[in-house]
Structure 1
Amino acid sequence: MKRVSLKDVAQKAGVAPSTVSLVLNGKAKQRRISETLAAKIISVAKAAGYQPHPVAVNLRTGQSKILGLLVESISGSFFASLARTIEVEAESYGYKIMYCSTENNPLKGKELIQMMFKHQVDGYLITPAPGMEEDIAQLLQLKRPLVLMDSYFEGLNAPYVLVDNYKGVRTCMEQLLKKGHRKIGFITADLDLVQLQQRKRAYRDACTEYKIPASSQYVLGIAYDTPQKTIIKQISAFITRHRDMSAVLFGTNYLGVAGMESITNLGLRIPDDLAVVCFDDHDVFRLYPPGISALQQPIDNIAKTAIALLMKQLGATKAKSRKQQILLEGKFIKRRSI
């Protein structure tokens, strides 16, 4: 279907294209165009189905009123909730969201950033994948408004907002250690992301503080792109190899969900045979008998804070806070799994 142009509207209304442009941009009174003629032009444009071309609007206003949201995965519960809140918050400022995912593939991330750049998005909200440092650095060099979420690169001075991963895992470990557990397994995603490294370091530091030797520190790293059935098998094999473990801490909720299936398949009871805690809560943990204890990330607060930081860069808010790199505290949800 042919797009109705401004010239088409002008021809139907019997006026010059410049007159149509002035009316549709709200400048009729300023240019002394009669109310009767302005009403006629608006009526013709509406009947013809005229829509301003977004690129033309962007060139005229200098804004697309679109934000680029680039997350790790569209299917993940954390990122779905994050995106939902970001969309609501962005709309309150008059912005729409262009939503894409990298699946932690840096090449895909680069291509998506380039696509967003060509679409002239006004700002970027990004959960960066390993290997995207240069792409983020380039946006910073071009002075493009951006905020990183859930992760960041230690060598780049970029605005970011995420949960305090180190403190969150220390909280999970302290809950288990207070219950007398000393042989605690740690199952995490094998990715070079700062938040995952912080979680692993928190596990190691908690063990050191409680004088748990390295021989009793059981860590399993699972590749991010591992199929679900293989993840379940790897977790089952890990638990079977370390029958002396009395507890396990999952470093991400998707591994925790797979872990529930592994534990069930092995015929183990929670918490009688194995206590369980997960970093990042999930609806499954609330429903799974007897209820899985978890560190709940402040998803709404992360999203709202990220939007606030971006709006400040875009000049859409006069917020006084100068802090650009923000860690938020998670909340431990204690259920009957420990």
Structure 2
Amino acid sequence: MQKSTAFQRILTICLLLFSTSIQAQFNQVIEVGVIPGEIGTYHGSLFWQNNSSDTVEIRVVPNAKQLIALKKRFLVLPQQKVEIPFQINTKGLVGNFQSEFIITSNGLMLDQFLIKARILAPVMDVFKVYRNEFFPFRAESQLLNFKSGFIGDTLNAEIALYNFGGGAVDLRNVAYDQNYDIVFSTKLVQHNGFTLLKAQLRTDASFSLGFKRSLIKINDKAGRLIFTLPVQFTLEERPNFTEENSPRLAVNIVEHDFKSIQQNSIGSTQILITNIGTSVLELKKIESNCDCLTYQLSKDNLQAGESVQMDVFFNAKNRVGYERKTLAIFSNDPIRPTTVVVFKANVRQPNN
């Protein structure tokens, strides 16, 4: 009976190996991306699925000492997909990193995963680069930038944080706004240590269009504030390519160059906005990414075929050098809900 059971196990493994033989010939590539050298440890995950009809015990084997499987053995049910957490110890590593995880069972290789990353050199003088303060942390970036997406999307962002507060910071069991999911690569961050904050922002119909800035407050389990981090993102409506008899927004220019203008002067131009569709065009919102770029508009609803002139002003007060600013026009155009117009200028100082 024991011989029969052993034979069945071997047969199951052989069948599983055969079913994944095409995958096993090639590495499944996990692109980690760029890792700041100061982080010390990078945390990630990969997934493996048992495509057979039998339960299989697998072992996860790395081929480099810097690559560590945080759990090495799994009992995987038929058709089950398991998450395999891993970490890369970046200390002493600079440049391109490439290493493999091998999935085995009873000594047979079932799959391979190639882990690829680029590790930056640690910054020797941290305070020169990590100059934005969110006590007890410092960061390279001024904020957590989720960039842009459509309403209903989940947006992603990350930021490396350096603890200069004088003591360890405990980020276990933290609380924050329910629209976010936040993971710290290191949850107990020692003084002069680093952690990588990865965040997801879940948006829904309660979010409004346009550019947003807000704050994430990170509290401990007792409700005490640990630190505050500014965030920004832009939300657009998702295009609808099937809607007929709809408004369509058109502008006569998508980029304007004020060219060389003197510091503290004001440049101006005009943009013609036209509804080339077949129903009323509603200009819901117009946003500038700088207080220096303003506009005037006489109406925000255009009948089919109607146009309106928008006057745009660039104020070069206390500015110098190359400037690139934008106006984002949000409308009910179902195919292109957001139109961005770019404005450029080269601001010269007096007597230059």
Bin of the TM-score, shorter chain as denominator length? under 0.3
Larger relative contact order, structure 1 or 2 (CA cutoff 8 Å, min sep 6): 1
| Structure in which a larger fraction of residues adopt helix | 1
| Structure in which a larger fraction of residues adopt strand | 2
